[in-house]
Amino acid sequence: MGIGGALVALGLAAQPAGDLTEQYNDAATKLIDAALVDQGGMEKLAYLCDRIGNRLSGSPSLDKAIAWAAAQMKADGLVNVFTPRVKVPHWVRGNESAALVTPVAKPLNILGLGGSVATPKKGITADVVTVSSFEELEKKGRAGIEGKIVLFNVPYEGYGRTVVYRMSGPSRAARLGAVAALVRSVTPVSQQTPHTGALEYSDGVPKIPAAAVTIEDALLIQRLQDAGNPVSVHLEMEARTLPDAESANVVGEIPGREKPDEVVVIGGHIDSWDVGAGAQDDGTGIITALEAAHLIHQLGLHPRRTLRVVFWTNEENGGAGGVAYREWVGTMVRNHVAAIEMDGGAEKPAGFGVSTPGDSLAALNRVREIGKLLDRIDAGSIQPGGGGADIAPLMREGVPGLAVRTLATHYFEWHHTRADTVDKVKLEDLRANIAAMAVMAYVLADMPGTLQQAATGTR
Ligand SMILES: [Zn+2]
């Protein structure tokens, strides 16, 4: 044996579990074959979105969705189905409208931001000051902002970079005396479609009403102002926050055959904004997880560990579901061997992002062995960096976190709008996501060692 052979032997000795690609080829073939002709996923998504509809925390339709989901989990062969209670914020939009007053009268297409306060009953009419950055806002100072409505006309530079204006823009403007805030919708593309989403008021600053405007309306106001016209807007909003409401996470399992106490969690969030149908955000996430588990059950595959499907509540305006789930599992959090969250829509899947404690290369490479099983559907790209809002509380305790990655070409065009409806979901893409989720979840739940063991070299 040469040096190369010796290294190979050492490598094998360090990883006696064997190559997962080879070991799970048959199971993956069966799961992908079944997923690529699946009808149940799309049927369930259509029922959730078309018959129950959007599902904001505190709404009767979210309660309906939770009851339906628990029944559907049982119908799909899951057991230990629970709906542990969660207290959630309860914000309601009420009626809302806005219009340009000068230099021309024209209605504006708005959606109030989640968590916003109302305007006075008669509304607010004020001059508009347009800014394209926080620097520009600060430069104008109190002298330029006090008594005005601030419009943040900020071009989209990716969701993470741009959403800060929706989240903290209203309070940044209020700090300088603004009476209301308008925020250009956080999206690359618009067809007069306003995008809602949560805002975050800062402590110690007056809460001012805030709404999203479309790209078209933001650009119109900018043009009018650049042409030297004073622009004024009238805004009316009834939005209010009621006392916290009762809600619930939905949990169901395929119990492990050998190590039922060890758990792989897969899921997404069951709540949505109060417009559209929450089809891509995040109907596709929860349905992909449920249908993946359903296929695993139907094919008679009994994973070594427990596979748990979780639909978290209140991701959109509070994150109470993710926190409550972590509390619900108590000390059993240490038995969670992996968590996969899907919350980016079901466009064509590309693979998974993975985060493990210490960013272990050995654990990442284990997931890459599983990824190779998905090369057949071009969904085998495994990249460092995974997770999501609902599994963050688990990941903070050392649970490896994965996120489904898709091409996401159009996701932010529909996100948080009236246009997030089932027609935006392609059947072949949903099927491919179900295939990817089923294979990843099954192998993580069945493989001889865990990712944590791969990371620490104990297996
Ligand atoms: Zn979402």
One domain, residues 211 and 273 = no
pLDDT band of 5, cuts 50, 70, 90:
very low
Structure letter (DSSP) for residue 230: -
List all residues 6 or more positions away from 187 whose beta carbon is below 8 Å from its beta carbon.
156, 193, 195, 215, 412, 413, 415, 417
pTM metric for this prediction:
0.94
Tell how far the Cα of 244 is from the centroid of ligand 1, in angstroms.
21
**What six digits make up the tokens of 89?**
């914020």
Give just the sign of the alpha carbon dihedral 34, 38, 40, 41: positive
Tell how far the Cα of 345 is from the centroid of ligand 1, in angstroms.
8
Query: Of 190, 215, 238, which residue sits at a domain end?
Result: 238
At 459 the pLDDT is 57
11 within domain boundaries: no
**What six digits make up the tokens of 389?**
């809002």
At 426 the pLDDT is 98
One domain, residues 120 and 185 = yes
Kindly name the residue from 96, 236, 315, 369 that is annotated as catalytic. 315
**What six digits make up the tokens of 238?**
């009834």
At 36 the pLDDT is 98
**What six digits make up the tokens of 200?**
């975050």
Active site (annotated) includes residue 315: yes
Query: Of 219, 238, 257, which residue sits at a domain end?
Result: 238
Residue 98 CA, chain-centre distance (Å), reads: 29
At 457 the pLDDT is 84
Main-chain dihedrals φ then ψ at residue 386, nearest 5 degrees: -140, 180
Residue 181's CB is within 10 A of a number of other CB atoms, namely 27
**What six digits make up the tokens of 138?**
């600060």
Averaged pLDDT for residues 220-242: 97
At 55 the pLDDT is 98
Model pLDDT for residues 32-56, shown as the tens digit of each residue: 999 999 999 999 999 999 999 999 9
| Domain with 306 in it | 18-91+244-456
Averaged pLDDT for residues 348-361: 96
> Residues of the chain with pLDDT > 70: what percent?
96
Tell how far the Cα of 315 is from the centroid of ligand 1, in angstroms.
7
Q: Residue 133 belongs to a domain with what CATH number? A: 3.50.30.30
Query: Of 211, 238, 265, which residue sits at a domain end?
Result: 238
Would the pLDDT of 123 be above 80? yes
> Residues of the chain with pLDDT > 90: what percent?
95
Tell how far the Cα of 347 is from the centroid of ligand 1, in angstroms.
14
List all residues 6 or more positions away from 382 whose beta carbon is below 8 Å from its beta carbon.
351, 352, 353, 354, 364, 367, 368, 370, 371
Cα–Cα distance, 456 to 459 (Å, whole number): 8
Tell how far the Cα of 129 is from the centroid of ligand 1, in angstroms.
32
At 10 the pLDDT is 42
- Calculate Rg over the CA atoms of the chain: 24
Q: Residue 401 belongs to a domain with what CATH number? A: 3.40.630.10
Backbone angle region of 385, left / alpha / beta, with phi > 0 → left and psi within -120 to 50 → alpha: left
Tell how far the Cα of 179 is from the centroid of ligand 1, in angstroms.
30
Tell how far the Cα of 278 is from the centroid of ligand 1, in angstroms.
8
Would the pLDDT of 11 be above 50? no
One domain, residues 37 and 146 = no
Which of 402-406, 444-448, 452-456 shows the lowest mean pLDDT across its residues? 452-456
44 in Cβ contact with 279 (< 8 Å): no
List all residues 6 or more positions away from 351 whose beta carbon is below 8 Å from its beta carbon.
371, 374, 379, 380, 381, 382, 383, 405, 436
List all residues 6 or more positions away from 223 whose beta carbon is below 8 Å from its beta carbon.
none
Which of 4-13, 124-133, 170-179, 194-203 shows the lowest mean pLDDT across its residues? 4-13
Would the pLDDT of 321 be above 60? yes
112 class by beta-carbon count within 10 Å (0-12 exposed, 13-18 middle, 19+ buried): buried
Mean pLDDT of the chain: 95
290 class by beta-carbon count within 10 Å (0-12 exposed, 13-18 middle, 19+ buried): buried
At 12 the pLDDT is 42
At 15 the pLDDT is 45
pLDDT band of 458, cuts 50, 70, 90:
confident
